[in-house]
Amino acid sequence: MATQIAKHTFDWKACETAIPTNHWIVITKFAPAHTPYIGRGRWTWQISTLNDKNLIQEIIKKGIPHLKELERLASLPSQESKAILPCWEAFKEDLRQIAKKYGNKAQSKVHQKIKNIENDIQELNNHPEADSDDNVRANEAFMASELAHLERINACDIRDDTRALLAHEGEKLGGIWSKINTDPKP
């Protein structure tokens, strides 16, 4: 029995205990092969896409056939209606894929726009008449305000995601609460 357990242990460390004694504590990681795989966590919908009319129309278009199928299955006797859960799971998977597609599109558009504006500002700063021409300076100021606006949008998205995580986690220790209080790496 002990040799079977030893096969699944790794990363052994011996270190001092938190309480001052003359003993050391041994720490190891235990990962048996038959345990289920736990992925990176639960995917969440980007809050900024909740008001996207195109996304809502796409969801409605995909949801109508699923709704009709769910209504048909619900009208069957209980013995034959076991397919309700797989149908509901298929709808949730379709919904997740659509939301991810739209979220990635929206996020990449904002990031690309920020990158383009930064490049334009750099070009305006390198312009030979940047110090003397009022049009160049006005364009630079406009680009800088547009860049600040887009960065505020990103900051609001991050803030909303953090608020949603905090509301979901509640007062549990660890997770997002620990992440908030750690200093960022340089």
Which residue would you say has higher pLDDT here, 100 or 174?
A: 100
pLDDT category of residue 4 using cuts at 50, 70 and 90: low
Say what the pLDDT of residue 35 is: 67
Whether 67 is in a domain gets the answer yes
- A 10 A CB-CB count for 13 gives 10
**Token pair for 20:** 């001052």
Between vectors from CA 113 to CA 110 and to CA 116, what angle results, nearest 5°?
A: 155
Which residues share a beta bridge with 27?
13
Whether the CA torsion 145, 148, 152, 154 is positive or negative: it is positive
Kindly state whether residue 60 falls inside one of the protein's structural domains.
yes
**Does 144 map to a domain?**
yes
Structural domain contains residue 38: no
Strand partners, 54: none
| Within-domain flag for 113 | yes
Owning domain of residue 140: 47-170
Q: What is the pLDDT of residue 2?
A: 63
Each residue's pLDDT tens digit, 11-23: 888 888 777 788 8
Tell me whether residue 105 is in a domain.
Answer: yes
In a domain, 7, yes or no: no
Q: 113 is written with which tokens?
A: 């726009």
| Mean pLDDT in residue range 103-129 | 86
Q: What is the pLDDT of residue 57?
A: 92
Q: Give me the residues paired with residue 15 across strands.
A: 25
Q: pLDDT-derived band of residue 50, with 50, 70 and 90 as boundaries?
A: confident
3 occurs within a structural domain: no
Instruction: Please spell the DSSP secondary structure of the chain, one letter per residue.
Output: -HHHHHHTEEEEEEEE-SS--S-EEEEEEE--TTSPP--S------GGGTT-HHHHHHHHHHHHHHHHHHHHHHHS-TTTGGGHHHHHHHHHHHHHHHHHHHHHHHHHHHHHHHHHHHHHHHHHHTSTTTTT-HHHHHHHHHHHHHHHHHHHHHHHHHHHHHHHHHHHHTT-SSTHHHHHHSPPP-
Place of tokens 């990449």: 108
Total domains, the chain: 1
